[in-house]
Amino acid sequence: MILLWTISLLLGTVAGTEVCYDKIGCFTDNAPWSGVSGRPGKSLPKSPQVVNTRFLLYTNENQGSYQVIVADASSIKNSNFKTSRKTRFIIHGFTDTGENSWLSNICKNLFKVESVNCICVDWKGGSQASYPQASLNIQIVGAEVAYFVKVLQSSLGYSPSNVHVIGHSLGAHAAGEAGRRSSGAIGRITGLDPAEPYFQDTDALVRLDPTDAKFVDVIHTDASPFVPNLGFGMSQNVGHLDFFPNGGKSMPECKSRLATETVDLEEKGARFSLTCNHLKCLDYYTESILAPNGFTAYPCASYTDFTANKCKTCPSGGCPQMGHYADKFSGKTSAVNQVFYLKTA
């Protein structure tokens, strides 16, 4: 009996519409996770073995090559991870991989301005599936990150408030799941164009929302409706601060390139020009790390008013910087769904 119980924990025990795994908890196909408007069908995320979440650690000491670590005290202690530093997890999206260059490029820029534990989260085993399945698999990724944070806290005395999770597209919602399963104790979550399909206007449990961390900031760059315009990102405000550069729908570089050529973006999982807007948030965040005052954003009732120069002055509390330094804004958590606009070059 004990042997069967142990095997069921390791492999996952299905009871009706719920499956549970050792360490990371349980998952269900009940509402609001599936079978509801915006999330059709009834299905469960794939197992942790299939999703195969890996943690690739870069630090100031090993900037050019990662160390694979697991959520175990000895693995972490035997790596270059230092509890004196902040920890920033970076989570990729649909069809992507944690070894793609944009994740390590963020780490490289971070090393120029701080000492940091930069962990690229690879879940290609779950992201390279059909989109509906991948949108469910993010629950496993979020739970794995939450468990890692739990180990840091329980075994190394590391505060979750020193953790920052950065997620792109589906990865933004995985970050939200990590925050939810950490009871909102994570210091910060940054959503880089959170994915729209299966998440827009859904219950806050299944998507990124302001309760997932002490501070949640979001950059929207592809917020046109998925139908009919194929906008992959959410238009819904889901953070404390929601930034809409260039109005959040069409980025200048993408518009000019689409007019002249079919663009190969040279990124695995994002080879078509139609994903350009969805990917520009990665450029903006990466650049913002080295430009503390380069992305000033302004509160405004609409982008139309902003482009009419009706909102080009900052209120008494100042204006936030979109990107890495958004957390320096004094009013960052004074309210939720604060909207800001800016233009980029």
CB atoms within 10 A of CB 293: 8
Are 22 and 35 in contact by the 8 Å Cβ rule? The answer is: no
> Is 168 in the active site?
no
DSSP state of 6: H
The active-site residue out of 34, 169, 182, 224 is 169
Positive or negative, the Cα torsion across 89, 95, 100, 106? negative
> Is 278 in the active site?
yes
Report how far residue 284's alpha carbon sits from residue 324's, in angstroms, rounded to the nearest whole number: 9
Phi, psi torsion values for 22, nearest 5 degrees: -55, 135
Q: Which residues touch 23 (CB under 8 Å, ≥6 apart)?
A: 71, 147
The active-site residue out of 164, 168, 220, 278 is 278
CB atoms within 10 A of CB 268: 15
The active-site residue out of 193, 212, 222, 327 is 193
What DSSP line would sit under 34-47, residue for residue? SSBTTB-S---PPP
Residues forming the active site: 169, 193, 278
